[in-house]
Structure 1
Amino acid sequence: MEVPCGIISVEPGWYVSAQQSEEAEAGELSPLLGNELHRQGSPGVSFGFSVFNLMNAIMGSGILGLAYVMAHTGILGFSFLLLVVALLASYSVHILLSMCIQTAVTSYEDLGLFAFGLPGKMVVAGTIIIQNIGAMSSYLLIIETELPAAISEFLSGDYSGSWYLNGQTLLIIMCVGIVFPLTLLPKIGFLGYTSSLSFFFMVFFAVVIIIKKWSIPCPLRSNYIEQYFQISNATDDCKPKLFHFSKESAYAIPTMAFSFLCHTSILPIYCELQSPSKKRMQNVTNTAIALSFLIYFLSALFGYLTFYDKVASELLQDYSKYLPHDVVVMTVKLCILFALLLTVPLIHFPARKALMMMFFSNFPFSWIHHSLITLALNIIIVLLAMYVPDIRNVFGIVGLFYLKLSREDFLSWKKLGAFVLLIFGILVGNFSLAFTIFNWINK
């Protein structure tokens, strides 16, 4: 019989022995965790597919705004901030996995149960549901808005009013034909193939940004109706800045932090990893974050070196302006939109799991429950189609859990690191919330 990945039948407050923890830290799972993670009759998901799944969870629409962030922080300032956030993301996963070893549970919801009892479990599950529903809805909103425009660029003539240029119609077709079948899959590992496709779409995007750097000369000129209009006269506008600070720089850290948010997918991927261990999962995380960092950095750098201070908050808008009807640019737009579409099923999985653990944790797996919750979530995200919500404290949640659950002395490096994550999460969350409200008021 297959052992479900979730809480082991122990009382809250129970921990594995010190010897078992040492074995786990060394990369060898304790017998109890071995029963939990080495599912009988299941070979698990390969290292490569696990990396692709995690990268798909990491990379999203944020990649389009990082060149704008570099323009307002400078190349060195951006590089330093992006590296710090990437390291914090990796470290937060490290202490998250450490908590799994100490408590012998492999879900966020049950970590909340161990730390703060049933209210903790419900708050964590609710947070995951709200965050992931908002993220999925925001991606679908982008697809609804941008896909008709991307398709129309391939067409010559007036096709306004056609069904294939109607955003809502396209959104329903995509959700029924692609998103729903993928979200219906019972295990996150099955998404490895679509995640690998999404990864190659992102690589294609970065390669196009690099190549097109030499197709748009500086000072910038826009080509419309075979006439050239100079956008920038000053050669100083074509000099990169190593450090730059302005009021827009305040958005840098929140934007970067959101670009590495993948924590709700970490434990589901860990559950299905082939030969699972803390060390192996940490290697999956480090590889995914490193590759994401590389793609982020190259896209931002060459996007910035193409448009400099004139770069738009959404990078592809600039290419549409200065290279209208460029087939490669139009193709990469479609690739990015499909990459976002393929991210939705991956984000859907933790949200569905949270709902299942809230309402059906004491029941065996049922395809009826699974299908109904999947259908309900898909209907909700299509109807909402709103912007990313204000759940921005993932780093802080991880730090808080570790401080509560860890047996180490408070002055230990891990607890100090967890405390830093907690403060970082609170500051970034409140700071970004304040700026979001300020931006709404100005609009």
Structure 2
Amino acid sequence: MNKAPAKTEMSHFNTPPETDSNEYTSYEDCRTKVPLNGLQYNDVDAESQNFLPDHHLGKKKYEEYSTGSASFGMSVFNLGNAIMGSGILGLSYAMANTGIALFVILLVCVAIFSLYSVHLLLKTANEGGSMVYEQLGNKAFGIPGKLAASCSITMQNFGAMASYLYIVKYELPIVIKGFLDNPDANMWYTNGDYLVLIVTVSIILPLSLLKNLGYLGYTSGFSLLCMVFFVIMVIYKKFQIPCPLPEDFINITTNNTVPPQHNATDENCCQPKYFVFNSQTVYAVPILTFAFVCHPAILPMYEELRDRSRKRMQSVANVSFLGMFVMYLLAALFGYLTFNEAVEPELLHTYSRVYSFDILLLIVRFAVLIAVTLTVPVVLFPIRTSVNQLLGASKGFSWPRHICITVALLVCVNILVIFVPTIRDIFGFIGASAAAMLIFILPSAFYIRLVKKESMKSVQKIGALLFLILGFIVMIGSMTLIVLDWIHNATASETHTNGN
């Protein structure tokens, strides 16, 4: 669910001894080297060798192999889980504000761009000699490059953590009301803000204070299973909820932030739109980039891949992205066809307007709540590691520092969740900033800087340069339009308040 695993350092690779052939690729296992032709050579001094040979590579294509333990299928599953996250809940909202045809075009483009970004990242890792995103930034641009990568990953993880707590804020009150005799009663224990604080203090904080997250594997598999269950539920409910919607559904305003252009119970609302342009269309691309970003997880998974090669890892990415593309399209399409213009930024919450109590929805909500609650400490882990490195990289483990950083991060994310009005703003801001950096800007910039064997006039470098320019256009354009929309909404709200 947009999670970034703990950083891992890759063992140093060695260059093969001088021979008449330069078709060698090697790995260090303290015993042997394995060239491509299958012959073995005795290892040389590991401490004096570089990760990859940096001179006289010739025209041969180098690929490295290692003793990684993850199979192709397991790697596809792990990467799919890294891609799949809370962003899937906002895709129907994006489709409602772009139309079916425009949404599919954007979804295909973002998926292809993300795969191209993976290609650049893998090739840069081979040439740059590192399997850690921040180290590639350091090799490419020094401290500024390392900080850019670290800050982008931290922002992405922080946004993911906030989106998970938003789900708690939206869904836990509905689950509790489902067990009450009077579900319309507004008690303190059905207030989402209070519940977020209670869940954070009682569950998330104790788990986050652990030094090691041994339950990571179980949480990851369960999270992906919950999202698959969610997609199945969305498809099933499309054929149960009537169109036009029930009369009491009129209380939902179209897109939550703009006045409805159509009556939600009007027959005209049952006609799907193929191209839509309005003030909320600007959120579509950031929501999609937020949903597809998984790039901090690519290199650690590449390192763990059995019989590792760049081509094999690219195939893993292709299969994973294809699977997530299908799931995203199904969730967005059937969610949109169910509610049309009345869909909310968080799709699961929209169903509460139709059903006061539904056992299937209750099970889905409960499963998603468990998954996101257990995932918050996993996402917090790499953020705390980065902050800890900045504050005390040369110091040993300190419980006071460990506790203070954890509490400070959870306080900040809770403040954000309580005071920012909608999850749409998190999807939009993080998708337009950190996700755009991780998908477009950083991989292409690192590629241009570190891949020396290709000239700037080559097709590959020109493509990376155009991709870099596209990234800046997406980031600056999306951020500008989102901020303008915030200003417009704030002004409209103030005018409405003064008018009353």
Q: Deviations over 1:6-47 (max 9, x none)?
A: 4847789973763697131xxxx16xxx4xxx4xxxx63344
Q: What does residue range 31-430 of structure 1 map to in structure 2 within 5 Å?
A: 34=66, 38=67, 44-144=69-169, 146-157=171-182, 160-162=187-189, 166-176=195-205, 178-181=207-210, 184-185=212-213, 191-222=216-247, 232=264, 234-352=266-384, 354-355=386-387, 368=397, 375-385=403-413, 386=416, 388=426, 389=430, 390-391=433-434, 392-394=436-438, 395-407=440-452, 408-430=454-476
Q: Which stretch of structure 1 is more off in the superposition, 129-138 or 257-266?
A: 129-138
Tell me how far apart the structure 1 counterparts of residues 329 and 190 of structure 2 sit (CA, whole Å): 38
CA contact (8 A) 1:72 1:246 kept: yes
Q: Which stretch of structure 1 is more off in the superposition, 315-324 or 138-147?
A: 138-147
Local SS of the residue matching 2:356: coil
Q: Which stretch of structure 1 is more off in the superposition, 46-55 or 393-402?
A: 46-55
Local SS of the residue matching 2:280: helix
Cα 1:354/1:98, change in 2 over 3 Å: farther
Tell me how far apart the structure 1 counterparts of residues 132 and 412 of structure 2 sit (CA, whole Å): 27
Counterpart of 1:406, as a letter, is V
Tell me how far apart the structure 2 counterparts of residues 384 and 49 of structure 1 sit (CA, whole Å): 35
Partner in structure 1 of residue 5 of structure 2: none
Q: Which stretch of structure 1 is more off in the superposition, 97-106 or 113-122?
A: 113-122
Q: CA RMSD in A?
A: 3.3
Local SS of the residue matching 1:434: helix
Counterpart of 1:397, as a letter, is L
Tell me how far apart the structure 2 counterparts of residues 268 and 146 of structure 1 sit (CA, whole Å): 33
Using the aligned pairs only, state the percent identity: 37
Local SS of the residue matching 1:418: helix
CA contact (8 A) 1:240 1:308 kept: yes
Counterpart of 1:174, as a letter, is I
Counterpart of 1:379, as a letter, is V
Tell me how far apart the structure 2 counterparts of residues 359 and 97 of structure 1 sit (CA, whole Å): 30
Could you say which structure has the greater relative contact order, defined with CA pairs below 8 angstroms and 6 or more residues apart?
A: 1
Which residue, 5, 10, 26 being the options, matches 2:9? 5
CA contact (8 A) 1:213 1:306 kept: yes
Deviation at 1:141, TM superposition (A): 4.3
| Runs of 5+ unmatched residues, structure 2 | 1-7, 13-46, 250-261, 418-425, 491-500
Tell me how far apart the structure 1 counterparts of residues 187 and 168 of structure 2 sit (CA, whole Å): 18
More helix by share: 1
Which residue, 22, 43, 57 being the options, matches 1:18? 57
Q: Deviations over 1:301-332 (max 9, x none)?
A: 11111112222222223211112211212222
Counterpart of 1:5, as a letter, is E
Cα 1:278/1:379, change in 2 over 3 Å: farther
Q: Deviations over 1:69-115 (max 9, x none)?
A: 11222222111110110111111011101011112211111111211
TM-score by length of 1: 0.81
Cα 1:135/1:267, change in 2 over 3 Å: same
Q: Which stretch of structure 1 is more off in the superposition, 293-302 or 282-291?
A: 282-291
Counterpart of 1:168, as a letter, is L
Tell me how far apart the structure 1 counterparts of residues 167 and 216 of structure 2 sit (CA, whole Å): 22
Cα 1:250/1:287, change in 2 over 3 Å: same
Q: Deviations over 1:165-188 (max 9, x none)?
A: 73311222221455555x7238xx
Q: Deviations over 1:188-211 (max 9, x none)?
A: xx7333212111101111111101
Tell me how far apart the structure 2 counterparts of residues 145 and 310 of structure 1 sit (CA, whole Å): 17
Tell me how far apart the structure 2 counterparts of residues 48 and 343 of structure 1 sit (CA, whole Å): 23
TM-score by length of 2: 0.73
Tell me how far apart the structure 2 counterparts of residues 347 and 15 of structure 1 sit (CA, whole Å): 35
Aligned residues: 413
Deviation at 1:122, TM superposition (A): 3.3
Tell me how far apart the structure 2 counterparts of residues 435 and 134 of structure 1 sit (CA, whole Å): 19
Deviation at 1:294, TM superposition (A): 1.2
CA contact (8 A) 2:70 2:304 kept: yes
Local SS of the residue matching 2:241: coil
Which residue, 477, 480, 486 being the options, matches 1:440? 486
Tell me how far apart the structure 2 counterparts of residues 7 and 404 of structure 1 sit (CA, whole Å): 23
Tell me how far apart the structure 1 counterparts of residues 377 and 303 of structure 2 sit (CA, whole Å): 17
Deviation at 1:48, TM superposition (A): 3.9
CA contact (8 A) 1:134 1:381 kept: no
Local SS of the residue matching 2:142: helix
Local SS of the residue matching 2:213: coil
Max Rg structure: 2
Cα 1:108/1:360, change in 2 over 3 Å: farther
Local SS of the residue matching 1:23: coil
